[in-house]
Structure 1
């Protein structure tokens, strides 16, 4: 037992994708004999690896957040991908996070511990499976991560989203019981606070309804979601190499020089020296630019967003506010969308999610009024409808706020066919990436892998 405890605690302390090469398959812990509380910690570390590690970096290249300038990342920048590139990151979600969370739930139920601990395990499962569905399309669900099914069946992306919603609803019910909490310290996010997890679950329901363009439901659940920065689901990091911010580890490692935001779409939008700068008399992006970047777009890992100890957003108050803004505009009316956008701008005007001193630098996010979006207004120089002008602003704000996060890739694909939003130019050729590829490890060992294999430029079902 001491050996198992050491394995899992070591995973917690040194869990980072710099220690897990992208070109191999590896299961970093063996939880089958460990107590469910310790396995819960392992599943949370796996969640961080998935959402903050190599998956987010690649999604970032294909979202216009980053450019790959050398070796493997230059290939990704030029859309030169193959199935073997995705084997390790597939395991980040289906083994390191999902399987551990399932084991937590199974062990807790065996001990009649249904409640907060099982609810948390379900949220972790739903979080991973929902994002995996957004990236890969059809994926395993019912049989995913379960040892009895070594060749799990794939289910359609739409069905997976429905089941993710059901799983989150079950999680909310169990969390609301407020009994059977995980042991002190094993929940590295909220230390067993069921009410905070309920808010996260509702924000995730809103996120996944956004993915499927069910904007009415997205608004309803966002209204029940994270309503304060104190309730953010963030990956917290420290000042030693083992628990450092994963982007920091990458940028300061041997391959950090092959990855930059110079000449990227996001830099064009918030660099005051660029012709595409989004600032106006009510918006000054100086502080946010310097929080994200140094120079002409080098990611700021020295003192800003990617510093060693800086937390990384997994599900946030900022995202939830902007979900209410977009879904409110789409499903309610112009004024609902504008009200929530101004709520977000007020948050940013007070420093927002900026930190490390950048929240005290020059910035301006004054509230907008209807006239700003009317033809000839400061947000409508091309004389489109006020609704379209507001939508464009909200989508632009989401894009900038989601810098380095997987959700940016989901947004640009979801809105790609719409008239207004973030329209990227391919780095090469005429097509833009639409999905992650099924990994070679799955193709070789699982006869249930979809055939023919969908291509890199083929939209997933919800984005067709």
Structure 2
């Protein structure tokens, strides 16, 4: 979805307005010089913009866990799955949800049902992201003035809230409204039909998470899929501006300036370069850079740069590619992801549908990245990819989804559901010994929460699984 650059000027004003609305759970002090109220339009602008940044923030936080990225330094905690402090991510998620609470109150009071519906969809999304990372989290007591130490709600019950919010959002988006969303919406510029498709796509995403639970229904997933995205043109995304770079572009630019980040894991390189799978994937040069020698060489997670310490001896994110150009979009949800969800849900009951969706998911991602037709057709007809409906496996679906969702945080949910069983996926060097040889399953609660709400923070380890990861 193209975003007109004329709305750039709205960002700074909206951030100031919206910051004043985050005065419930997260605020301790009140600045009397700040505005005390924010209009729905201003809230919508900041919410859609910051939601995309939350996708980047979460994607950055888990990129080493799923071995998209690797630290150039040996024994880095992000590689070795040590307990890390994600206070900033926690605050950013709750800041957006606090704004969303304010938006939905205002929209409901004024009968602005389209704002209300979009707000409920984004509340479901930000809440779902938070639960997927931390498990039990505060929600029911988080957006009022009765306590600064809110109770933690059960993660399974919160998932019920996610689905309820999505259903409410759909109903309100389909209703008459007193105010229409427009350029204040950085995702769809007020296109209600696309908001509805986005809501159903999110339903399919969160339903597929529950596959290992008693509440899972493949038929319900496929019903949601049928009402979700039908092309790349409907992808939920936020594009960036001339003065405000895509955050992954900033990582690439910083790395080029020797502020090291965005080094590519050996696991990801070998999944595409013909090492782990027979077919060489034409998306590799469109996603990551080469070494100074023109080769694709990854970094081993946990081991660092090893015997090649100089800059340019390992592949990194580089500026100018689809995900790393200065005005590139941050992808929130995509058509290709939805096709892989469909493939997984149909697998075993409707093999033809599963296989068609699997192939369409690959093609949609390649089209999004502008893979040339010859390279695309060669890959799609390679016998190791075009295996036929009877031979399609969950391993192939997860492998192709892993590539298509490069840098997206949804991959960590997939990795946990798949028990990290990607082909040739190996544990990082110098891995956190407290994990006992197991992969990390959740985030530790942030230090900020331990200090301000410690009496309510559940006692968990990094191996304790959230409710759907059993």
Selected match of 2:368 from 345, 348, 353: 353
Aligned-partner Cα distance in 2 for 1:11–1:198: 28
Provide the C-alpha distance between the structure 1 equivalents of 2:91 and 2:180, rounded to a whole number of angstroms: 25
- Over aligned residues, Cα RMSD in angstroms? 3.3
Deviation at 1:65, TM superposition (A): 0.5
- Say which SS state the counterpart of residue 313 (structure 1) adopts: strand
Distance 2:346 2:207 in 1: 13
State the match for 1:112 in structure 2: 111
- Kept after mapping to 1: 8 A contact 2:236/2:333: yes
Is the Cα–Cα contact under 8 Å of residues 55 and 330 in structure 2 kept in the other structure?
A: no
Compared CA separation, residues 268 and 405, structure 1 to 2 (3 A)? same
- Judge conservation of contact 1:412–1:423 (CA < 8 Å) in 2: no
**TM-score normalised to the size of structure 1?**
0.81
Maintained 8 Å contact 1:133/1:157? yes
1:46 has 2:50 as partner: yes
- Offset from partner CA, 1:213-271 (integer Å, 9 cap, x none): 1251222211211111111101211232xx21111113323797432343431111112
Deviation (angstroms), 1:367: 5.3
Aligned pairs (5 A) from 1:115-194:
115-194=113-192
Report the Cα offset of residue 302 of structure 1: 3.3
Deviation at 1:186, TM superposition (A): 1.0
Cα–Cα, structure 1 residues 421 and 326, in superposed 2: closer, same or farther, change >3 Å?
A: farther
How far off its partner does 1:89 sit?
0.5
Contact 1:154 1:448 in 2 (8 A): no
Q: Distance in 1 between matches of 2:144 and 2:166?
A: 19
Aligned length: 419
Superposed, which structure 2 residues align to 1:140-289 within 5 Å? 140-213=138-211, 214-216=216-218, 217-240=220-243, 243-253=244-254, 257-272=259-274, 275-279=275-279, 284-286=280-282, 288-289=283-284
Question: Residues 360-384 of structure 1: CA distance to partner in whole angstroms, max 9, x if unpaired?
Answer: 6833366579xx68xxx9859xxxx
Tell me the CA shift for residue 176 of structure 1: 0.5
Q: Please, which moves more after superposition, 454-463 or 218-227?
A: 454-463
Q: Secondary structure at the match of 1:68?
A: coil
Taking structure 1 as reference, are residues 270 and 193 closer, same or farther at Cα in structure 2, changes over 3 Å only? Answer: same
If asked which structure has higher relative contact order (CA below 8 Å, sep 6+), I would say 2
Paired residues for 1:288-299 under 5 Å? 288-295=283-290, 296=296, 297-299=315-317
Q: Distance in 2 between matches of 1:6 and 1:397?
A: 35
Task: State the partner residue of 1:344.
Answer: 361
Shift of 1:109: 2.0
Partner of 1:301: 319
Note the residue ranges of structure 2 that are not aligned, 5 or more in a row.
1-6, 18-25, 291-295, 297-314, 432-436
> Which runs of no fewer than 5 residues in structure 1 stay unpaired?
16-23
> Which residue of 77, 80, 95 maps to 1:78?
80
Moved more, 56-65 or 299-308: 299-308
Distance 1:270 1:364, change over 3 A: farther
Cα distance change of structure 1 residues 226 and 346 upon mapping to structure 2, 3 Å threshold: same
Task: Give how far 1:301 is off.
Answer: 2.0
Task: Give the counterpart of 2:328 among 310, 319, 330.
Answer: 310
Q: Residue 67 of structure 2 contacts residue 265 of structure 2 at CA under 8 Å; is this kept in 1? A: no
Distance 1:448 1:40, change over 3 A: farther
User: Which position in structure 2 is the counterpart of 1:19?
Assistant: none
Change (3 A) 1:314 1:80: same
8 Å Cα contact 1:64-1:265 kept in structure 2: yes
CA shift, 1:10, in A, is 0.4
Distance 2:39 2:9 in 1: 12
Counterpart for residue 407 of structure 1 = 410
SS state of the match for residue 177, structure 1?
Answer: coil
Measured in 2, the distance between the counterparts of 1:378 and 1:9 equals 45
2:448 equivalent in structure 1: 441
Per-residue deviation, residues 39-95 of structure 1 (Å, max 9, x unmatched): 111111221221112x21121111110001249x9331122334xx21111011111
Query: How far apart are residue 461 of structure 1 and its match?
Result: 2.3
After superposition, the Cα gap between the structure-2 partners of 1:25 and 1:86, relative to the gap in structure 1 and judged at 3 Å, is: farther
Partner Cα separation in structure 2 for residue 278 and residue 119 of structure 1: 46
Structure 2 Cα separation of the partners of residues 256 and 90 of structure 1: 28
